[in-house]
Each structure stands twice: as C-alpha cells, then as structure tokens.
Structure 1
Amino acid sequence: MNRPIRTVAVFCLVLFLALMANATYLQFWRAGALDEDPRNQRVQQASYSSERGAILVGRTPVAQSTPSDDRFEYQREYPQPLMYAPLTGYFTFGDSTGLESSQNAVLSGEDPQFFVRNLVDLVSNEQQSGGSVELTINAKAQRAAFDGLNALGEGVEGSVVALEPDTGKILAMVSLPTFDPNDLASHDFGAVGDAYDALDADDGDPLLNRAIQTRIFPGSTFKVITAAAALESGKYDSADSLVPGGATFQLPQTSGESGVIDNEGRNCGSGEITLRLAMEQSCNTTFAQLAIEVGAEAMLETAEKFGFNSDYLEDLNGQARSVFPGKLSPPELGQAGFGQFDVQATPLQMAMVSAAIANAGVVMRPYVVSEVQSPDYDARNAEPEELSEAISPQTADVLADLMVSTVDNGTASPAAIPNIAVGGKTGTAQRGIEGAAPYAWFISFAPATDSKVAVAVMIEEAPGREIAGGALGGPIAKAVMEAIIS
C-alpha cells in the first residue's frame, strides 16, 4: 500500500472511530439529558402519541387516553373535568401539571418498574403503553365537597380537603374556581394557547390548586395548636383547667387601641375561665395570652410537629409550605396565638392538624396515590407513613373533647351530625386590609372515637354572603363527613 492510500485509510479510520464515539456519547451518556430537553420535539411527539395510562378513582377513569384519528394517535380526555382538574392537572404538548406531571413516569410507561415490559415491547416492536394510577379519593366525599363549595354561588374561591386520620389518605381534594383540562389537551394547539391565556389571565386563578398552593391566615382554627402547646407545657391538663379570659387584652409592649385584642362580642368572662369555654366561644383574649405564656420557642416547636415549615406531600406537585415564624416578639406572639400576624396555612395543613388530634396526636404523611398498576396489571400499593407525634395521646384526648364541645355547645354547631359525636373548630381570619372581607375556615373530624375522616374547609371569597367559618364551612364539612361515615 503506497503512502497516500495509507494516509487516506488512516484518516477514514479516525473519522469512523470519531463517529462511533460520538454516537456512543449521544445515545448512552447524553441520552437522558437529550430526552429531557424541552426543545426535543421528537421526544415530545413520541410521548404525545403513546397510549398514556389512566388516573382512576376507584375503577372509574378521571383521566384517560382514547384513540384519535389524527397524527398523534391518542387523545387525552377528562370525563369529570371540573371536579377533578385541580388533582389531575392537564397533559398537553410539552407541558403537564398536577398528577399528570408528578406521576408522568408511570402514566407514560417510563417508570423503572416497567423496564422488563418495555424491553419486551421493544423486541416485539410493540408501542410502549403507560401504567395506571389509582387515587385514594372517595368519590362520594369528593362530590359532597365539590357540590358544597359550588352551592355558595358564583365567584366563590375556596378549597376542601378530607383525610383519613390513621393513614393519611386524601379522601377529597376540591378547589374552586376550577377549569376544564379537556380544553388544554386538545390537538388544536392554537385553541389550547387561547384557552391557557384566558385561564392564566383570570383573576380567580382557576389553574391554582388552593388545597395545597394557597396559604393564608388560619385564624381561629389555629387555636387548637395554641391549646396543644399550652397542654403540652404541663401547666394545664384538662378541658376544665382554668385559663386567662377577659373581654379585652392589651398586648405587651403596646399602648392604645391598636394593641388591644377583643372577642368580637363573644362572652369570655372577666377573669379566669375554663379552657372548654374559651374554645367553645373562640376567645381571642385567652389564646393570645396562652401563646405568650407558652413562649415563642414552644409555639414554634408545636406548630412544626404538626407540619408547619416543612414539605410532606410527595406524590402531587406544588405544595406550598405552611408557615409559623420564629423569633416572635411578645405582641407578635399574642397575635399568632389566634392565627394572625405572619402565620400562614394551607387547607391540607389544617386538615392534617384536625386528623392528628383525631389520631391520638400522630401526624401521618398525606398521600393521594393509592396504587400504581403496570399495563400487565402488576400492582404496587402505597404504605401509610408516620411523620411525627405532634402531641401526646392525653393531650389529643383533651383537644378532641374541646372540639366536640365546640360543636355541641359552641361556634362549630353547623357541623353537628345526629347521633354522632363530631369535633370541630371555626375560623374567621382577618386579611389585614381595611374594608376587606375576612377568610372563613372550618376544621372537623368524625366520629370523635375511632375517627374515619378529618376535614378542612377554606373560603377566600364568597360574593354576596356574610363571611363566617361556621355558617359557610360547617355545612360543607358536615356533608363530607356524612359521605364517608354513612
């Protein structure tokens, strides 16, 4: 072989090796990054054209893929769109939210547990299909929550969350206003863009799942946490322990009317009163003084044991942290004692508080995915997980007694169910904006012994209605509890 030919051969060999090295690099080392690159239209088209798994409530699909007669082969459909949209989210070309996002690996069939099945499909030249996701949602409770919020009228903004206290299963999760994810799953991308722009511009934020993404002042529902901290301190030990009362209370380090706490006309005595009466009448003066007495450190510790300042929802994206601030001054701490100042909570968080009291003080991790099933019907079930022991069983018993009394004799009476002991607490939280209507809250559980359900109702807006946690939230909580225990 003469020298020129040898030079060309060596050059071709170098090019061949470079080509092999580049192909190996792209297909092995860079494959994952290229697949996840949002600019990779081929991956997006392949995903959009595959048979995506169903999201199920019981055995009823609330999201499913059906054959289509266009180039994408399958159309994503949501049979009960408005009631389940905050949970399912939407799946559209290049974007997804809610469970469509958090459970994408399962629904698309790309989860590692499907490796063998996908390998068989590849060898047999079959199209990859996704697994299904079954939810913990109770259909009757979801309907009761949805209908209850809707009954408040046009323009209502709010959320309902129901939990199974001893497992953490999310039995209902509703958020209003809602949206139709079918409009965003269309193969007409121009129409999808218009629909998204309209939803994004809507002042009611219909794309927001208020159950986990909205945090506001919890108001008087937070008093159960203040009571928990006071009982855990050892100074008080029963529902009939004497605590500070009074018609008004001047916050420490303040003067004048701006530092005065009152009870908005409720009868809270003129001196010491029982903790039971303080809870039944929702006495701001009592819980402001208890919080100051317990101290900022103990209040922070108790709130965090219930889940404040942490992330705990793992199978649904978008959780906003509920907040209890640290290093509070005495006047700030007094306001925090009844759920004001900088205390912020989501509906899911307050449902967890109620559930923990019903569950002997144990906080369970909330979850909404009950079972993951492969296309071959191999199932993987979720397991309940304990997050913390927020309070002792003895403290939980006292708090449960207090909340039952509040339904039987106090402000939470709208949640009463005949022949069943129900625990509840109202909340009407001031926004801190002059002239603005307050927020309405209601938390509850039932039955009081061996509880099957804990509920939180939060109402941000209810045009044309007088805002009150008991009047607005109590009947909704009652309907949800009855749906579970009936």
Structure 2
Amino acid sequence: MNAPVRRLSLLVGFLFAALLVSTTLIQYVFAADLNARPDNRRTLLATYARERGDILVGQTPVATSVPTQDEFKFLRTYEKGPLYSHVTGFYSFYGAVGGLEQAEDALLSGASDKLFYRRVSDLFTGRRAQGATIETTLDAAVQKAASDGLGDRRGAAVAIDPRTGAILAMVSHPDFDPNRLAGHDLATVDKNYQALTKDPSRPLVNRAIGGDLYPPGSVFKVVTAAAALSDGSYTPDSELPGGAQLDLPLTDTPLPNHDNQPCSPSGTVTLKQALVVSCNPAFGELGMKLGADALREQAAKFGFGDSPSIPMRVTPSSVPAELNAPQLAQSAIGQYDVRVTPIQMAMVAAGIANQGVVMSPYLVQSVIGSDLSVIEATQPAQLSEAVTPEVAAQLTDMMVAVVENGTGRQARIDGVQVAGKTGTAEHGSGTKAHAWFISFAPAKDPKIAVAVIVEDAAAAGSETGGGAVAAPIARSMMQARLTR
C-alpha cells in the first residue's frame, strides 16, 4: 500500500472512531442532560404526546387530556378551570406548573416508579402508555360555595374534614383559567403567562397554602386560649383584665381594645367572655403571663413550624422567637410578627373539633391506574394532639358562644350548632385590615372545619370585619357540606 492510500485509510479510520465515540457519548453519557434540556423539542413532543391522567373531583374530571390531530397529540383541558385552578395548576408544552399537575407530575405523566409494572405490560401488549388518575378529596359543592363567597375579592378559603384531614375545599382569589396556559398556540400561551406573572394581584399564587402569609389577628386568640387552658392555671371562668386598654411594660404605648371601649362594665372579664367579645387587653395580659415558650409550644402542637405536603408543599406558619413583653402581648392577639396560612388556621379549628387531635391534611384520596386498579390510597394519619379532649370541649363551648352571643353571629345555621371565631388583622398603617373567620360544625359532631380570609375588607381596629365579611362565606361552605 503506497503512502497516500495509507494516510487516507488512517484518516477514514480515525473519522469512524470519532463517530463511534461521539455517538456513544450522545446516547449513553450525555443522554440524560440532552433529554432534560428545555429546548429539546423532540423530548418535549414525546412527553406531551403521552396521554396524561385525569384529575378528579368526585367522579368528574376537572383536568383531562383530549386527543388532537396536530403534532402535540393531546390537549390538556380544564373543566371549570378557574374554580380549581390552584388545585390543578396547569400543564403546557413547557411542563407542569403549580398544583397537582406539578406535585403529582410523575404519576399523571406515567413516569413514576409506582407505574413500572404497568409500563412493562404496555410494552409487551402494545397498549398506549397512559398516566395515572388522581382522585382528590374535594367536595365540589363546598369548593363552589367558597369561590362564590369570595367573588371578586382577594383572599382564600379552606375546608377540612376534621376526622380525617381530607381537604374539602381549597380556593385562592384571584384565580386564573388554566385553559389559557395549556393551548397549542405557544405564542399565545407565552403571552397569557407573562400577563399573569406581571399582574400585581398575583393570581398564580396559592394564598391558601403559601405566598406572603397573613397576620391571623384575633383568630389566633383560640391558640392563646388553648395554651391557657392547657397550662392548668386557667379555666373558662378565670378572671382577666377587661378595660379599654392594657398598659404594657417597656413602652408608653398601651394595647387598646379593638373598639377602644371596655370589654365589660366591671373592667374584668372571664376567659370565655374575653373570647366571645374578642377582648384584646385580656388576651394581651394572658400572653404575657403564659410566656413566649408556652405560646410557641401550643402553636407548634397545632402544626405551626411544619411544612406538610398535601402533596403541594405548604409554607410553615410561625410565631416569632425572642419576644419581649409588649411583643408577646401583641403576638397573643395574633399581631406583631405572627404569620399563618389559611390552611394552618383551618387545622387549628379542625384540631379543636376533633377532640384535640390534629390530622395531617391531604388533597389526594387515591391514585388510579388506567385499568381502574387503585395504585395507592391515602390513609388518614394523626399529626399531633394539640390539646386534651377536655380542653377541646372547653374551647368548643367558648367558640359556640362566639357564634351564638358574640362577634360571629353571621355564621349561625338554623338547626345546627356552629363553633367559630372572628378576626380582624392589621397589616400596615393606612390600609384596611384583613377579615378572618374560623369555624366548625356541627359543634358536637363536626363534619367540616373552615378558615376564611378576605384581604383588606375591614376597618382597622374593628372586630366587625371578620363577622360581617368572612363569617357568611364560612357559613355557606358549612351549609354546602351539611345539606348534602
């Protein structure tokens, strides 16, 4: 072989070797990274072409995949999209965002290891790969009552079955239409998404479980009362200061009552009456006597500080550490830096309703395979014992009095005994206060526990906002559950 032919053969051999090495690297070494690249259209199309599992409310699909004739193969559609938008999230060509679409993406897409044997079976039988169906715990009637009640106002509403922890409703307003983010016109989808992300009202934020969190205001007095009754030094009949204001140490600024009037003509109130009329001086004094550790420990027993997965991750609620006396008094009435999610306050109400036992909240009832077999089902689990059954009974009696004789009258339901607590939470000078209401019913055999917040809906310093604005929404939600 002459020299030119030999050199050419060596070059050809080198090129074949380089091709072999590069192909091996692409197929085996770099495959995972290449498949994960957001601009890999082939991978995106392959993923999008798989039929995604449904999301059910009862037996009704609120998220489903519809076959199409274009390159995407399936279109994700959302029945009553805005009503369930923060529950479902959305799925588009760019992936799963928010809600169950993101939290349960592996199951819905069929990629989960829990579906491994199903995928193997599909491979041998030639069946089209399909994701699992997610059955939620939601009650459609309660969900609708919550959304209708909030209307155009910003806020959130959560309902829980206190016996199991099953979430019956989870609504955050403003909502959005996930159908506008799941279309096949990618330019329009991108335009709609950009508009939502730039909206100052933040419609993509699920206020029920996250966001900036809220001061709870007077609904937190239930936690303070629980700490007092659990301490053993207090009963519902214990006497507390009930003047128009409470003088605080370390400062010349007193803690006023919400209406700047005495809580009672005598200047003292019982613990029960203090909750009924939402007396700030009484609970401020109570907080300072109990101490910061007792208040934080009681809150922790209700779930404060935890970050439960429902399966979406819930932002932890918190009671601040290192409190001086004035800060402790403010924290005891749900102000200063106490911050909560609505689902946390629903858990407080549910724990009292369930004889002191807080159940872990959950949104997924079961996961169902394409052959209708149940792949997994959620079993109710105890999170904690927040208070004893005896203390829970005392708190229930006090909260019933709030609805029957106090600030929560607008939560009354004919023929049903309702337990509740109003709250009006200030969150900055020059702004209206947030209106709160937590409740459960029937008081002696609870089927539903509720927390409602309506943003900027009450006059600062007034306790009427929670009763007038939030309590009627809670009443509608409880009625929807109890009249089925």
- The question of a shared fold, defined as TM-score above 0.5 by the shorter chain, is answered with yes
Cross-structure match for 2:220: 222
Q: Distance in 1 between matches of 2:315 and 2:399?
A: 27
Pairing 1:192-207 to 2, within 5 Å after superposition: 192-207=189-204
Q: Distance in 2 between matches of 1:463 and 1:245?
A: 23
Q: Distance in 2 between matches of 1:146 and 1:24?
A: 50
Cross-structure match for 1:433: 429
Q: Distance in 2 between matches of 1:347 and 1:37?
A: 37
Tell me, yes or no, if structure 1 residue 80 matches structure 2 residue 76.
no
Tell which deviates more after alignment, 35-44 or 337-346.
35-44
Cross-structure match for 1:45: 45
Q: 1:267 to 1:412 in 2, by over 3 A?
A: farther
- Name the aligned partner's letter for residue 471 of structure 1: A
Q: CA deviation at 1:13?
A: 10
Cross-structure match for 2:306: 310
- Name the aligned partner's letter for residue 370 of structure 1: Q
Tell which deviates more after alignment, 130-139 or 110-119.
110-119
Q: Distance in 2 between matches of 1:68 and 1:188?
A: 13
Q: 1:246 to 1:276 in 2, by over 3 A?
A: same
Q: CA deviation at 1:314?
A: 3.7
Q: Is the 8 A contact 1:157 1:462 kept in 2?
A: no
Q: 1:349 to 1:126 in 2, by over 3 A?
A: same
Q: Is the 8 A contact 1:251 1:261 kept in 2?
A: no
Cross-structure match for 1:58: 58
Q: CA deviation at 1:8?
A: 9.9
Pairing 1:361-380 to 2, within 5 Å after superposition: 361-379=356-374, 380=376
TM-score by length of 1: 0.91
Alignment root-mean-square deviation, CA: 2.6
- Name the aligned partner's letter for residue 139 of structure 1: A
Tell me, yes or no, if structure 1 residue 97 matches structure 2 residue 94.
no
Q: CA deviation at 1:484?
A: 1.0
User: Identity over aligned residues, as a percent?
Assistant: 44
Tell which deviates more after alignment, 438-447 or 209-218.
209-218
Tell which deviates more after alignment, 123-132 or 335-344.
123-132
TM-score by length of 2: 0.92
Cross-structure match for 1:142: 143
Q: Structure 2 unaligned runs (5+)?
A: 1-5
Q: Secondary structure at the match of 1:388?
A: strand
Q: Secondary structure at the match of 2:208?
A: helix
Cross-structure match for 2:185: 188
Q: CA deviation at 1:259?
A: 3.3
Tell which deviates more after alignment, 17-26 or 240-249.
17-26
Q: 1:475 to 1:321 in 2, by over 3 A?
A: same
Cross-structure match for 2:158: 161
Q: 1:446 to 1:378 in 2, by over 3 A?
A: same
Instruction: Tell me how many residue pairs correspond in the alignment.
Output: 474
Q: Secondary structure at the match of 1:210?
A: coil
Cross-structure match for 2:3: none
- Residue from 337, 342, 345 that aligns with 1:347: 342
- Residue from 410, 413, 426 that aligns with 1:414: 410
Q: Is the 8 A contact 1:169 1:367 kept in 2?
A: yes
Q: 1:34 to 1:388 in 2, by over 3 A?
A: farther
Q: Is the 8 A contact 1:239 1:401 kept in 2?
A: no
Cross-structure match for 2:269: 273
Q: 1:278 to 1:462 in 2, by over 3 A?
A: closer
Q: Distance in 2 between matches of 1:410 and 1:171?
A: 27
Q: Structure 1 unaligned runs (5+)?
A: none
Q: Distance in 1 between matches of 2:442 and 2:53?
A: 37
Q: CA deviation at 1:25?
A: 3.7
Q: Secondary structure at the match of 1:213?
A: coil
Tell me, yes or no, if structure 1 residue 457 matches structure 2 residue 452.
yes
Q: 1:463 to 1:438 in 2, by over 3 A?
A: closer
What whole-Å deviation, never above 9, does each CA across 1:72-129 have from its counterpart, x for those lacking one?
Answer: 1111101111111111111111232211100111110111121111122233444311
Q: Is the 8 A contact 2:440 2:448 kept in 1?
A: yes
